Amino acid sequence: MPESRVRKSAARKKKAKQKAELAEQQSESARLAPAGRNWVPAVFIPIGLLGVAWMVVWNLAYEQLDWLRSLGDWNLAIGLGLIVTSFVGMTLWK
């Protein structure tokens, strides 16, 4: 049995629907991964290294530095806080 002809309006509607779906996909991808995130590594790497350096200095020079000794257990919170902040910053990088 031969196939019937497709009406012009149906073909136009199909093209318009495909065009709308493509535009929606492009806007969704642009919304999920915006451009211009080149600053992120320049921020999270130093913060992570600062956290590691804080932990190393705290463990090695705890007895010699009075201001470090006065912080007590907060040194652990500061070092881990910097490291966790660095990991959170990594999630922003594309």
Q: Where is pLDDT greater, at 14 or 55?
A: 55
Dihedral angle over CA of 41, 44, 47, 48, nearest 10: -100
Maximum alpha-carbon separation in the chain: 94
Query: In the chain, what are the domain boundaries?
Result: 8-90
Res 58: pLDDT: 93
Helices (H), the chain: 8-32, 40-60, 66-71, 74-90
Indicate the pLDDT class of residue 33, thresholds 50, 70 and 90.
low
Res 83: pLDDT: 97
